[in-house]
Amino acid sequence: MATAATASASRFAAAAGALYGFRWRTSPLTHRAFFPKPRSAASLRSRRHFLAPAALHRHDVQIQEEGQPETLDYRVFFLDGSGKKISPWHDVPLQLGDGVFNVIVEIPKDTSAKMEVATDEPHTPIKQDIKKGKLRYYPYNINWNYGLLPQTWEDPSFANSEVEGALGDNDPVDVVEIGERRAKIGDVLKVKPLAALAMIDEGELDWKIVAISLDDPRASLVNDVNDVEKHFPGTLMAIRDWFRDYKIPDGKPANKFGLGNKAANKDYALKVITETNEAWAQLVKRSVPAGELSLL
């Protein structure tokens, strides 16, 4: 339930939007903060503690759209309950407890505009990807909601010995949400992870965590990779094939997949999330070079 301060901020946001042409919407957000003492990587994997030095304690996240969709200037910013810009990558908490995680939706299902968090811009808003000055689109619609796990990072200096020694792709971890509802750009979904696909894109490791929104009617039926095959038959193969082949129409080779070309189970997905959350924590503490990445 929104506080009086949040409601006041929402009224102010609506008025400002009418004046300046911004478009706003609000997503509910809850958070249970974790501030564990330093542990070894093995302990982190076994205890499933997630690091959140930049914790968000607001009940609501506001979405501010600037510019027109499908233009170079279009941005989707995130604001806290007071109207202050925050980063969907750094400030939205990863874990809500009880195996539930936040996912930031970048690309709604059944759309083709290649939207992504701008990791090199202050407050890391969502924008449409650009190549050679032109907006990028997939050659065909994506069939699932697609987004990222906040407070994760695939370290480009880390060679994963379990996936052909591939280096991280320098981005947050991607999520494919398989529920039936079409989300909106900037939605914050509460999901449970089900599986992991180890995509290798031009030598870089680009994890795809398969998850389902808790709001989906079938969410209670699926808790691991085998449940996906049972209740969403063919979906894991379809996801793998989609990401394997989507660059082929542009004349590029098909992407590869590690881990035997199959989806790993939920425990492995949680291991990936834990390790990339720990890598993100090192990044925001500046224990590793950030390069052009924004930490604001």
Question: Do residues 137 and 112 lie in contact, with contact meaning Cβ atoms separated by under 8 Å?
Answer: yes
Is 20 one of the annotated active-site residues of the chain?
no
What is the DSSP pairing of strand 166-168 with strand 204-213? parallel
Q: Provide the 8-state DSSP code for 38.
A: P
Could you say which of 137, 138, 146, 246 is catalytic? 138
> Whole-angstrom Cα distance, residue 9 to residue 61?
11
| CA dihedral sign of residues 233, 237, 239, 241 | negative
123 vs 79, 119, 280, 295, CA distance in Å? 10, 8, 16, 8
- As beta bridge partners, residue 113 has 137
**CA-angle at 155, arms to 153 and 159, nearest 5°:** 140
Within 10 angstroms of residue 239's Cβ, the number of other Cβ atoms is: 24
Short-list 261, 139, 101, 127, CA closest to 186:
127
Q: Indicate which residues carry an active-site annotation.
A: 138
